Amino acid sequence: MTNDFTFTSESVSSGHPDKVADQISDALVDAALSAGDETTRCGIEIANTTNYVLVFGETKNFLPTSEEVESIIRNKVREIGYEQDGFHWKHLNIDNRLHNQSADIALGTDDFGASDQGLMFGYACKETPSLLPAPIHYSHEILKHLRSIRDKNLDILGPDSKSQVSIVYENNIPKFIDKVVVSTQHSVNENNSARELAETAIHEACGELIDNNTEFFINPTGNFVIGGPEGDSGITGRKIIVDTYGGYAPHGGGAFSGKDPSKVDRSAAYMARWLAKNVVLNKLADWCSIQLSYAIGVKEPTSLYVDSNGDNQSIASLIRDSQDLTPLGIIRKFDLFNFTEYSKNCVYGHFGDKNVPWEKTEKF
């Protein structure tokens, strides 16, 4: 990137259709891990639309009854806040197509070889307290504040919302917010009130970066009453950029939600973030990008790549010498099979100001 530029990232709320799918997938993962052990495997996908949820995918050592699946899904949708005619937790038609995992896949992964080939990235920088790039950090913060406001104004705001923040950088430092976009679902005839509440959330979240020239685009279509899966279908794994670094850093393409910790799409991406964050916190660099790659059935990573404004070769050597980058090593480091709050932590990004093991700090 050049020294002076504008960069934009977006976030979505817990009620966004794709994020509803992510949360349901991870609620089922949480249930599987609570009932099982390190041999449990999950690859659970969700598709949703008007009063309909399709559950499909494969599991091992966890095949819940249809009644159990329905209970988990209805409870999660109720928690998110959907009680509208077109998507109500009581009235959902739930289609359960879960089945047992392929024996061929199990051959290479039962002893914790990598679950698949692939590449995973982690990133951290000093731009914000969360060590995330400023555009995604503030996009998340707006929706966190909007959720708190919604909890006190349920008669006005609905569960579905999105944010987008464009930040001007000067000499690679975030200086001010140029534009903010917020679309938030609201009750009939409450668009003006919704706009006022959204503006409050923006100021609470981003006050120090807003100036007199910052432009706000709040519900720019003028009306957002029909929201959630009633207005737009959702599928697990379609918000991978929201889940990570808002496009500011590379992404390997693999989604997190619906996958047990043996899946390197999830666990190795968490490890890559932990590595990048601790490189920055240990003052080895001001920013750091880490890439890991794996081959199915193979325990050791096929590559480790470090890009930072520090000594990349020294950082890479330090990582290789001090960290176990095998899938089992990562799982044990973060105790990922005993962590059963994946659904709670898949909203507003998987990284940042969160009480999760992959955000803990450690001296190398």
Which runs of consecutive H residues, i.e. helices, occur in the chain? 17-35, 66-80, 103-109, 134-151, 191-206, 240-243, 264-281, 312-322, 327-334
Range of the domain at 212: 5-11+134-226
Number of domains the chain is built from: 1
Burial 250-271 (b: 16+ CB within 10 A, else e): bbbebbbbbbbbbbbbbbbbbb
CA distances in angstroms from 93 to 20, 49, 73, 78, 250, listed in the order given: 15, 10, 11, 14, 38
pTM: 0.96
Please provide the DSSP assignment of 318-345 as one string.
Answer: HHHHH---SHHHHHHHHTGGG---TTTT
Phi, psi of 87 (to 5 degrees): -160, 95
Q: Would 180 be classed as within a structural domain? A: yes
Q: Would 27 be classed as within a structural domain? A: no
Q: Would 101 be classed as within a structural domain? A: no
User: Are residues 255 and 265 in contact, defined by beta-carbon separation less than 8 angstroms?
Assistant: yes
Q: Would 213 be classed as within a structural domain? A: yes
Q: Would 188 be classed as within a structural domain? A: yes
- Tell me: the pLDDT tens digits for 240-249? 999 999 999 9
pLDDT-derived band at 230, boundaries 50, 70, 90: very high
Q: Is residue 13 predicted with pLDDT exceeding 60?
A: yes
Q: Would 250 be classed as within a structural domain? A: no
Name residues whose C-beta falls within 8 Å of residue 104's C-beta, 6 or more positions apart in sequence: none
- Tell me: the pLDDT tens digits for 77-125? 999 999 999 999 999 999 999 999 877 766 656 667 887 899 999 999 9
C-alpha span between 320 and 290 (Å, rounded): 12
Distance of CA 169 to the CA centre of its chain: 25
Please provide the DSSP assignment of 266-303 as one string.
Answer: HHHHHHHHHHHHHHHHTTS-SEEEEEEEE-TT-SS-SE
C-alpha span between 136 and 10 (Å, rounded): 6
C-alpha span between 335 and 356 (Å, rounded): 10
The stretch 314-319 carries a mean pLDDT of 98
Task: Give me the pLDDT at residue 1, please.
Answer: 54
Q: Would 167 be classed as within a structural domain? A: yes
Q: Would 196 be classed as within a structural domain? A: yes
CATH number of residue 185's parent domain: 3.30.300.10
